[in-house]
Amino acid sequence: MITASHNPVEDNGVKMVEPDGGMLPQAFEPIATELANCSSDEEVASVLRDRVMATPATTSAHGAHAVERGALTVLVGHDTRPSAPALMAAALAGVRALGVHAHSCGCVTTPQLHFLVYLANNPGSGGSSGSSATAATAAATGPVAPPLQAYYDTILGAFLTLMQQQQQPGSSSGSGSSTTAAAPDVVYVDCANGVGAAQLQPLVPALAGVGITLALRNTGSGAAAGLLNHTCGADYVQKERLPPSDFADVPAGARCCSVDGDADRLVYFSPGDASSSGMRLWDGDKVAMLAAVFIRDLMSQLPAELLEGIQVCCVQTAYANGASTAYLTDVLKLPVVCTPTGVKYLHEAAHGADLGVYFESNGHGTVLFSPALRERLAAAAGSHPAAAQLLLLSRLINQTVGDAISGLLLVELILRRKGWSLAQWQSLYTDLPSRQLKLKVADRNSITTADAERVCVSPAGLQEAINAIVAKVPQGRAFARPSGTEDAVRVYAEATTQEAADGLAREVARAVYDLAGGVGPRP
Enumerate the active-site residues. Answer: 5
DSSP 244: P
Phi-psi region of 140 (alpha: psi -120 to 50; beta: other; left: phi over 0): alpha
CA distances from 174 to 162, 185, 289, 387 (A): 12, 20, 15, 12
CB 95 within 8 A of CB 107: no
Element (H, E) at 120: helix 110-121
DSSP 399: S
Q: What whole-number distance in Å separates Cα of residue 179 and Cα of residue 183?
A: 9
Phi, psi of 80 (to 5 degrees): -95, 10
Q: What whole-number distance in Å separates Cα of residue 414 and Cα of residue 296?
A: 12
Q: What whole-number distance in Å separates Cα of residue 238 and Cα of residue 243?
A: 9
Q: What's the CA angle centered on 485, arms 482 and 491, to 5 degrees? A: 30
Closest CA to 28 of 317, 344, 264, 265: 344
Q: DSSP characters for 27-55?
A: GGHHHHHHHHT--SHHHHHHHIIIIITTS
380: helix, coil or strand? Answer: helix
Q: What whole-number distance in Å separates Cα of residue 292 and Cα of residue 314?
A: 8
Closest CA to 398 of 238, 264, 261: 264
Closest CA to 459 of 480, 490, 484: 480
DSSP 175: S
Closest CA to 413 of 76, 187, 238, 135: 187
DSSP 278: S
